[in-house]
Amino acid sequence: MHGLVNRSIQVFISDTYGVSTWQDVALHAGLDFTEFEGMLRYKQAYTPQILDAAAAVLNRPRAEIMEDFGTFLVSHPGFEAVRRLLRFGGEDFVDFLQSLDDLDDRVRLAVSDLHLPKLRLRSHAEGQFSLICDAQIAGFGHVMMGVLRTMADDYGALALLDHSGTADGAEIVSIALVENDFAEGRSFELGARVG
Amino acid sequence: MMSQTDTGALDVLCPMHLILGRTGHIQHAGPTLRKMYADRSLVGQRFLDVFEVRHPSAMASMSDLHDVVQTKLRLKMRAAPHTSLKGIMVPLSGPGAADQVIVNLSFGISILDGVRDFALTNADFAATDLAIEMLYLVEAKTAAMEASYRLNTRLQGAKIAAEEQAYTDTLTGLKNRRALDTVLTRLLERRDSFAVMQIDLDYFKTVNDTLGHAAGDHVLQNVARIMVDETRGSDLVARVGGDEFTVVLPEVANEDILRRVGRRIIDRLEEPMPFQGSDCKISASIGTVWIQPGQNPRMEDLLDDADVALYASKHAGRATQTLYHPELREAANASDAPKRKRDETSA
């Protein structure tokens, strides 16, 4: 998996649980190093290894950790770029949901060798969606739960999320939009300078 | 006149368009342009008073403008922040068009500044406009480059740190002064018997000056190979300065061995070294100190003794080895020998 993914997980665990916990996780995962570099490529196996190790070291279900990671990615000030890049996807939460179909392509425009799992949004009855997540890494749906929950807040939308399990190798997140324009939301200026 | 429906459609499709009348006055402005000119109305103003057309040519009147329909225009806002714009103009046709023209404008490459200066949002661009994707890309590329720069900076730091800790002279592959100091310290601590040869190349400067630095580097690499060939695997060969070398030889049985090794090194260094059609000719002077078992000199004194012996070799006409004995020092003091300075060059 791309270093950016592993590095983000490292920063998430170090930031949330402390650097020594991260070092325990790295050790438990059988890594012979503790620092991932964002702009290097790593063996595919590392990502599930560190996630499993984190679940063991923290004594928490892996799904929960992955959801927290999703939340961290789009809410931590150090990852403001991620939130902003996602906000480019749409004007409101529904528009944003629809943009998720292109997310992997968008990401590859920026970093050509960063392959994210494919996402597909299905629209059902009014305000009902399901997000189908091709899960190269088990639990990716949970990461998306954390991302969507935070982005709904960011847009000022009120949505209920539910991980509806796995079908045909894909994880499904059900989204019930209660109100698209529920609260003020966080501001997003197209031209803001970041970093 | 254009109908209300038509301008409504144009507002959606081209939010940065203007409709000009026969006289060149603005009759209608799209919503994004209206936002950019929030504090003053565009309608009723003369187009050329609001915008300066710079290419294809400067324009003063509406009749000039009619010559450039369907040609790409490069314009500039006359008011601050003087944003550069691209545009194209087409005449309206049909009943009631009355010599009207539509000018559609766009930011072009000034999009980044434009978005900041006028606080534009997604809604200010047509749904089909690639401006948002362009902004996304700029930001994503910046973030990715930032990550790359951070990695490069860290790698650069690691490289410098590794070089500082290195024991190897990069040009010759020999050990460097740091390695020499480490080995000598260890030998002195253990009070072992060993010998130190201080070797200075003769005529090396001439090679460098006449044949260039590439020849000089070639010679130094040859010298290194010869010294390694003529010593044992357990001996340490270090380059401690530009053309200065030190060999440390543990467990030397007698002075004869030192004389033979020194002689062999000088003989082989004196063989001409071909380099790009020229022969590089050098020699070497050697000063050697043999530390007997039980002697316990300080490293500083040991190296100083070696320098004294080396100076004696130089004094004796070069291309020779001198073994240190205390009388040398008295002779050197008497002749007021220039004291060689160590530690100024590092390998």
Q: Is B243 an annotated catalytic residue?
A: yes
The verdict on A187 touching B (C-beta cutoff 8 Å) is no
61-100 in A: which are within 8 Å (CB) of B? 81, 84-85, 88, 90-91
Kind and range of the H or E run holding A71: helix A62-75
pLDDT tens string B26-42? 999 999 999 999 878 99
Question: Could you tell me if A125 lies within 8 Å of chain B, comparing CB atoms?
Answer: no
Compare CB distances from A4 to B117, B132, B147 and report the shortest one's residue: B147
Contact across the interface for A85 and B142, Cβ inside 8 Å? no
Could you say which of B11, B129, B243, B305 is catalytic?
B243
In this structure, are residues B46 and B24 in contact, taking their beta carbons and an 8 Å threshold? Answer: yes
Beta strand extents in B112-191 (DSSP E only): none
Does the distance separating the beta carbons of B119 and A189 come in below 8 Å? yes
Compute the mean pLDDT over every residue in chain A, rounded to the nearest whole number. Answer: 91
Cα B17–chain centre separation:
48
Beta-carbon contacts below 8 Å between A and B: 65
Pairing type for strands A158-167 and A128-134 reads unpaired
H/E element holding A132?
A: strand A128-134
Q: Which residues of chain B have pLDDT under 70?
A: 1-5, 95-97, 332-347
pLDDT score recorded for residue A8? 95
CB-nearest to B136 from A85, A194, A195 is: A85
ipTM: 0.77
* Interval B281-317: pLDDT, tens: 999 999 999 998 778 889 999 999 999 999 999 998 8
Using the Cβ of B97 and the Cβ atoms of chain A, whether some distance falls under 8 Å is answered with no
Residues of A in contact with B129 (CB under 8 A): none
Contacts of B208 (CB under 8 A, 6+ apart): B215, B216
> Using CA atoms, how far apart are residues B273 and B278, in angstroms rounded to an integer?
8
CA-derived radius of gyration, chain A: 17
- Residue B96 pLDDT: 65
pLDDT at residue B218, rounded to an integer: 95
How far, rounded to the nearest angstrom, does the alpha carbon of residue A81 sit from its chain's CA centroid? 13
Spatial separation of the C-alpha atoms in residues B127 and B124, rounded to whole Å: 9
Question: In this complex, which of A37, A90, A194 lies closest to B151 when CB atoms are compared?
Answer: A37
From chain B residues 102-161, the ones with a CB under 8 A of any chain A CB are: 112, 115-117, 119-123, 132-133, 135-137, 139-144, 146-148, 150-151, 154
Within 8 A of A192 by CB-CB distance, chain B residues are: 116
Tokens read off for A192? 């803001």
**Cis peptide, bond prior to residue B272, ω within 30 of zero:** no
Q: Does A183 touch chain B (CB under 8 A)?
A: no
Residue type at B194 in one-letter notation: F
How do B321-323 and B283-291 pair as beta strands?
A: parallel
Question: Does the distance separating the beta carbons of A194 and B143 come in below 8 Å?
Answer: yes
Please tell me the distance in Å from A67's CA to the nearest CA on chain B.
24
Contact flag B140-A4 (C-beta cutoff 8 Å): no
Phi, psi of A163 (to 5 degrees): -80, 110
Q: Does the distance separating the beta carbons of B148 and A39 come in below 8 Å? A: yes
A44-48, A186-190, B130-134, B215-219: range with lowest mean pLDDT: A186-190
**A27 to chain B nearest CA, in Å?**
23
Which of A103, A190, A194 has the highest number of chain B CBs within 10 A, making it the mutation to test binding with B? A190
Measure in Å the smallest separation between the Cα of A166 and chain B Cα atoms.
32
Name the pTM for this structure.
Answer: 0.66
- For A160-189, the DSSP string reads EEEEEEEETTEEEEEEEEEETT-S------
Residue A106 touches chain B, beta carbons under 8 Å: yes
Predicted confidence at residue B225, as pLDDT, reads 96
HSE of A99, CA atoms in CB hemisphere, 13 A: 19
> Which of B135, B140, B151 is the closest to A39 by Cβ?
B151
Contact A90 B122 (CB under 8 A): yes
Report pLDDT for B104. Answer: 96
Q: Give the per-residue pLDDT at A193.
A: 57
